[in-house]
Structures are given as structure tokens and as C-alpha cells.
Amino acid sequence: MLAARTIPSIKPNRSGRPHPLLVGAGISGAVKNAGNRKTHLSGVGVRAAISSGDRTVETPAPAATAPQIDGDGGGSLLTSSSGIHVRAVVKIRKKMRETLKDKIEDQWCSLINSIGQGISILLISAQIDPVTKSGKSVESYVRGWASEPSGHSRTVEYTANFTVPYDFGDPGAVLITNFHNKEFHLVEIVLHWFEGGPIFFPANTWIYSQDNNPESRIIFRNQAFLPSETPPGIKKLRHEDLLCIRGDGRGERKLHERIYDYAPYNDLGNPEKDGDLARPVLTGEERPYPRRCRTGRPPMKSDPEYESRVEKPHPVYVPRDEAFEEIKQRTFSAGRLKAVLHNLIPQIAATLSSSDIPFNCFTDIDKLYIGGFILKDEEPLEKAKNLFLDRLTKQVLSIGDRLLKYEVPAVIMRDRFAWLRDTEFARQALAGVNPVNIELLKEFHIISKLDPAFYGPPESAITREVIEEELHGMSVEEAIKNKRLFIIDYHDLILPFIEKINSLPGRKAYASRTVFFYSNSGILRPIAIELSLPPTSSSPGFKRVYTPGHDSTAHWLWKQAKAHVCAIDGGVHQLVNHWLRTHACMEPYIIATHRQLSTMHPIYKLLHPHMRYTLEINALARQSLINGGGVIEACFTPGKYAMEISSAAYKSTWRFDMEALPADLLRRGMAVIDPSSSIGVKLVIEDYPYAADGLLIWSAIREWVESYVNHFYSDSTAVNSDVELQEWWKEIKNKGHPDKRNEPWWPKLNTKEDLTGILTTMIWIASGQHAAINFGQYPFGGYVPNRPTLMRKLIPQENEPEYKKLLLNPQGSFLSALPTQLQATKVMAVQDTLSTHSADEEYLGQLHHLHSHWTNDQEVEEMFQKFSTRLEEIEGIINRRNMDPQLKNRSGAGIPPYELLLPTSGPGVTCRGIPNSISI
């Protein structure tokens, strides 16, 4: 019999030599292990009988055979003279679709497990031995199948039997070692026949092979402990586990590893491939940026400042548990295939013609949704096939139109002409895919903060006369006082980049300002657009104001001005509000959470659902979306200066304390402080769907977080004395956002209220905020004229030849400035993928069945259920709002309901649903 012993190093001892931590530890016996080597343990002490494969067992006491028992352990204890008989059920997840090789390997692994040579389990007590001052442990090997099959088709279960000494105490952790030559996905380990029912050790983690890493994996039971409350028997394991996750900051990371560390964005460029793909490193005072997960790839030979690139189809390292699960990977891969299919025909068409093809009429755009795309005749199709030798490509072409059609975007599904109206342009500033840049105009005149020595006079060209002409008798001062004027101002962010952008081929842009008026009838409408170009050596600069006008020429000029605003808005949305403020800023929070908070820390358990898949999707974005020459540069206004603009926005506007929804609304003047409100703010425009629904979600998250924090922290002293928590917050600032670590606006972490505010902000960013600005990308951007992502021409001026073309063919002039068919379809395919929910999506307030044992605290489970119930109520409130005829921004003829902040959704492009995490 193997006696209970002190906790060894997390490296399994299979060398045949006594482990240094076991020598003199009060243990006797000899164990023949899976490698048929004997480990001799000296001394005397308590004993625990183990049934584990072919190991010979010696003990001073007679062995007792564990009886065969069904049930989950809720009944009476099974005992013998040697101790309590315990059974561990090990749940392992299989692949969804197994190849023949997979099936053969699974059969082999099952055989190895059945003879007790595949997986070892070391059960660790939460109590320590009073003599050795170390935790007790008993060991067994997985052997045999569970007596009852798993209720899930993709889960297989194995068992291991223990006989635990009577004075063993409560199990606190298990050390699991994988002796197979490949990894496996451990769902959980369940201990049966302990007093009080089954004990759960939730894992949902990949267990690497000992061939790759000799260290055992530590899995803690589903009980949360603050650091100061950690049971003594597992205190060292808590520390060791964190050390393993942090790594040493050296070397290239391997795909099987789970090391979390920081690195700057120095992997976006690829000058070794093409000098034009060089991109600046985003770090330091000039180009500050949050940090990403370190991969440790070697530097480029030509320039050590750059990290070498990994191009598709090779994967970018993320810690093993951060990678997409199989369902998610299939959904994402299907999206990639869809992108290939949607872009294949336009690519062929471009190859067959002298240049990429513009949209010549609106019918060309309609064809994307109605009949497929171009090349209907057999002859050009045959020519196209000859251009591509790849068999898969030929098969794709033979499929026909079905796969090459786009779904009709929500923005034109009910009213195909809605995008033409000024009221729809304004409505989308409040209820579209980018509803977070509109601000209250608080003073007049509008003044730039840029240096006039470089960018010209700071005064806007939007004059009092221009505004008052649209106010029907109201003065500017009166409109400002009554909170009737609003603005979306991209002037100062974009103007420093305009000359560079306009030097790129096929791309023209302005810095823009758009002023809106909110009428007595509750309708927001644009009344003036200012488009600006900076001064150059050959030009004094350009500022021109466009207004709705009432004649046909003014109408078409106004339409082009709105399109230019949308193109800039699309870039800011994608690079600032979407990528920077959610994806990029969330990544350091995730890294710090893994590095500084133990998996048994209550705050880790709270945040864990909100970290799923984010590092993987961010790594994929660095590989093909935001990289030099990637989709964002190819299809959006900023081009190769995209990430420099994102860095500029981070430098000038990003503040953690302003990422809280109420704080952001107050900063933008879209809300005022209201002590009588439970949220503390009141909206200036009540019919502001993003804000109105968002505050409901924010409030629900805050109530849940507040109750959770109060449950685990008795007072502010407990917050201050939590060493893991304090290091976590310190690391987020100093390592995750080091370029802004000295800013005075970082919240303190001294009280329960501080912690509640910080956590609420993080969860809101990962869930509600990301959902609001991500899942509407295709529903709003899938119709190119509604939200062009770039413009290829400036607006014609009276003294230019293009102006005559505008007068003769205004529709042609407008369409010729939009993205080409290839550019448009490429970005549409990407937007379609990014707007798609996968079948395994985990939504806010819902608990995935694999995570059902995340806690054993009944009070916490009741709090979470209350949170879930509140979100169900909110869904009903939002549905009723969408049917209220008084709320014109979410109901009315042809108006799609605002559902981006409805908590739940089915799979696909639904324009609704709040996932727990930034998962796409």
C-alpha cells in the first residue's frame, strides 16, 4: 500500500530514485510504477490503499478491496480497516469528427489507460501532516471505464480507485500526469464516496504529454479561496501553479505550452518579404499601445526590432487553453471558406479585365444578394477555370451561385432605400454599429486642438450662419443650452494622417466633422458636414462645409459628403472602438489574470468566462487582419497607416476610467448626473438605443459583481491585503499598459467599491460593449453605399473636370468613388465572418454545461441565478422598447429593431446576442 505522503514536486517521480521531498517524510512501502521501476519510500506513517494497474503493493496492514458501488457518493461512506474507499471519475472530451487515425489512437489510449499506465492522479489534502508540515497525498492510476457512461456523446470517462486514510482531510487539489504521447482535453475530475457527496475538480483544459513537459498539471477543486485563506496543504501548489503559468520570459513558445507573458506590437510588419510592408513598432511615448501575448519568436535578421512573422496556414502561439475549441474552429473556418468563395469570382473577373471593376450601377450591388456574381456564361467560366489549377478551386466554381450569394443585410432588408435618408444616417449614429462617437456640442465656435503652425487656423468652417439656417429660427446659443446640437468630430484624430492616406493609390479621404440637430419631434438629423485637407507645400489647405441643400446638385454633393464621413467613421469604428478599446485593451487584463490570480481565486473564477477565445482571435487578427497588407489595410480608409491611427487614438483619448459606460456617456455629454436614478445618470436623448439598452446591461453586471465582491471581501482591508489581487492590478498598469502606467486617472484599488467598478468595466467591455460594436458589422456594412469603408475619389469641385461628370451622371460619379467590387466583396466577407455567432457561443448570464461545477458555493450560485433572471427580464424590456412607436430610432416603417444588446442569440448572423467574451 502507498502511504499518504507529503506533496512532491509537480514533476512526477519515475526515475527510481527517492524524490527529495519524500525522503524522511514518514512514508513506507514500495510502488511499481507505470514504467515498471520501483520507487522506494522510507519511514513510517499513515497508509492509503491504491488500486492502480500492475503495481505491487506492500503494507504492514492487510489490504481491503474497494467494493463495487453505484451512485454519486451521496450515501454512506465506504470504509475498511485501511481507510475510506474513494473513486475518481476522469472525464475526457473527444473530437467531434474523428479520422481513422484518431480512432486508432483513441483505442490505443483506452488500452493503455485500462492497464493503469496512461494517466496518474495524485490526490492532495487541504490539510497538512503535523509532523512533516506538508500536505498529505495518495496516488493512483486511471484504470477502467466508469460504471455508467457519460451523458455527453463527446465525453469518455475513466476511473481510478483510492483508499484514503481516515485522517486525510478534505481533498484540495489533484496532480495529473499524462504518460500518453499526445495531449488530451480534461473536462473535470469527480471524486465519489466522500462524505457530503461528490467533489468536483473542474478543468476544461488540455493536459500536455509528459514527452513535452515532465511537470504534472495542478487542478484545484471548485472552491474559491482568497490567498490568505488558502488551506495550508495546497498553499505551495497555489504558488507553484502561478509560477508555471508566468514562465521566465525567454525562448520561443511552443504550441502545447500555457505560458502567459507580454510583448509589444512588433509583429505587424514584414519588411523581409517586402519593404513596403514595414510597420512601426507600437510602443513608447511616440506610439503607445497596450501589450499583446508574447510568442518569443526570433527577431527578423534584417531588423531585430521586428519579431519574425508566422503566415497562414501556420498557427500563431497562444497559451494552449486559449485556442479555439473544435466547434468554434469549424465556424471560423467556414467563415474563411465563405470569404474565399465570395472573393473568388470578383478576383477572376479582375484577372480577366485590365483592372479591378467598379460598381457601374446599383444593380451591380443588388446582384450580390439576388443572383450570385458575374460570370454567368459558360465561356468566361471555362476561362476562369483555366486560370486556377487547384482542384478545390475548380470544385468551388462548379458549385454554382448558391454559395456565392450574400445574405441581404438588415439595413436594407425592410427598406432598400433607407440608406438614402438623412434621418437614417443620423439614426445609425445612435443605433448603428458605431454609436459611441456622437457627442453633445457644448460650446461654439468649434476649435481644433492641433498646432496651427502645421495644420492651419484652428477655427472650424462651420459658422453660426450655416447652423442657424437649419434651426428654423432657433439661435445656436439656445440650441446648445437646450442640448439640441450634437457632433461627431474626427478632425483632430485624422487630419495629421490625411496627406499620407491620400498619397496611397486609389484612396482619398478628408478629416470630418458632422453636426446634428435634435428636433422637438425627437428626430436627429445631420445639418452640416465639414471636410478638411491639411496645408501642404503646394496647397494652403482645404475646408469646405456641405449642407443638405434643396437642389439636385447640392443633393448629390451632400450624398458624397455623407459617404466620406462613413468611410472615416468605418475606420475609426474598426481601429479604435472595435479593435483598440475591446480586443487590444482586454488582452492585458486576460494575461494578468492568468499570471497573478490563482484559478481558485474568486476574482479569477468571476472573470474566467469573459476571457474565452480572445487571445486566439487577437492572434489571428495580427496574422491577417491588422497586419501590414492585411484586410483592414486593404479595405479601410487608413490603409497602411491604420495601426498608427489606432495608436494615436490610444495616446490622445483612451482612459480606463472612461471605459465604464456611465462615465463615457457623461464625458460625451450624452448623459447627465441624476442622483434619483439607480444608475446615477439620465440620458440627454432618451431614444438612444445603444445607451438605453447598454445601461440596463451595465446595471445588471454591476449588481452581480457587487454582490459577488461583497460575498468574498468582508471589508476594504480584505481588498488591500489580497496580495494576488494587488499584484494583478499593478501588473495591468505597469506591464499591460506600460506606456500609460503613470497616468493619474487609473482607479485606485483600495476598497470593495473600487474593485466592483474595475471588474464591472472589464466585464462590460468583454461582453456588452464588444457585442454592440461587432455583431452589426455585416447587417449595417454589408450594403456598400450605406457604410463604404473607403472612398477612391475626393468630391468634385466646380473648376475640375470631374464636376462635369457629376452633373451629367451623378449616380455614376457617386458609385465610382465607392470601393471596387473586389474591395467591397472582400470586406463584406470579413464582416460576415466577424458578425457570426458560433454554435458553442456562451452568452452573458448563461452557464455552459461543461462549466456547471465552477463553484461549490450555494450563495454564489443563487447570485448568478439572480443575474441570469435579470438578463431575461432585460430581454423582455428591450423587446417591448422595439415595439414602442414613440421610440423612432428602433421602430417605424422600414426601421429594424435595435437588438444588438439583446442578451441571447442563435448561431449565425443575427444582429443580436451578447457573448460572455470577445470571441470573434
pLDDT value of residue 37: 29
740-749 residue pLDDT tens: 999 999 999 9
199-257 residue pLDDT tens: 999 999 999 999 999 999 999 999 999 999 999 999 999 999 999 999 999 999 999 99
pLDDT value of residue 851: 74
pLDDT value of residue 375: 38
Write down the catalytic residue from 774, 786, 882, 889. 774
729-739 residue pLDDT tens: 999 999 999 99
Report helix, strand and coil shares of the chain as percent, to nearest 5: 40, 15, 45
pLDDT value of residue 395: 40
Write down the catalytic residue from 185, 578, 601, 837. 578
Most confident option among 103-112, 337-346, 483-492: 483-492
Calculate what percentage of the chain has a pLDDT beyond 70. 82
Average pLDDT over residues 517-545: 93
Average pLDDT over residues 267-283: 94
Write down the catalytic residue from 185, 342, 491, 770. 770
578 flagged as catalytic:
yes
pLDDT value of residue 54: 31
pLDDT at 58 over 70: no
Q: State the pTM of this model.
A: 0.88
Q: Which of the pair, 295 or 33, is modelled with greater confidence?
A: 295
Query: Cα(218)–Cα(240) distance, rounded to whole angstroms?
Result: 9
DSSP 453-495: HHH---B-S--HHHHHTTTTT--HHHHHHTT-EEEEE-HHHHH
439-468 residue pLDDT tens: 999 999 999 999 999 999 999 999 999 999
Average pLDDT over residues 315-323: 93
Query: Cα(907)–Cα(115) distance, rounded to whole angstroms?
Result: 42
Locate 539 and state its grid cell.
496647397
Query: Cα(728)–Cα(592) distance, rounded to whole angstroms?
Result: 6
Locate 229 and state its grid cell.
485563506
The mean predicted confidence, pLDDT, of the chain is: 85
Grade residue 284 by pLDDT with cuts at 50, 70 and 90. very high
Contacts 24+ apart (CB under 8 A), 427-431: 427/524, 427/889, 427/895, 428/780, 429/486, 429/488, 429/516, 429/524, 430/524, 430/685, 430/687, 430/688, 430/689, 430/690, 430/691, 430/889, 431/688, 431/689, 431/690, 431/889, 431/890, 431/898
Calculate what percentage of the chain has a pLDDT beyond 90. 68
322-352 residue pLDDT tens: 988 867 667 666 655 555 444 544 554 444 3
88-103 residue pLDDT tens: 999 998 876 767 777 7
Locate 423 and state its grid cell.
434621418
Locate 190 and state its grid cell.
469527480
Query: Cα(481)–Cα(479) distance, rounded to whole angstroms?
Result: 5
Grade residue 401 by pLDDT with cuts at 50, 70 and 90. very low
Average pLDDT over residues 863-877: 97
pLDDT at 77 over 90: no
Among 17, 21, 22, 16, which residue's Cα sits nearest to residue 3?
A: 22
Write down the catalytic residue from 573, 583, 608, 737. 583
Range of weakest confidence among 70-79, 130-139, 677-686, 812-821: 70-79
Grade residue 356 by pLDDT with cuts at 50, 70 and 90. confident
pLDDT value of residue 57: 30
583 flagged as catalytic:
yes
pLDDT value of residue 203: 94
Among 446, 559, 438, 567, which residue's Cα sits nearest to residue 502?
A: 567
374 flagged as catalytic:
no
* Phi/psi at 32 (5° precision): -85, 110
pLDDT at 129 over 50: yes
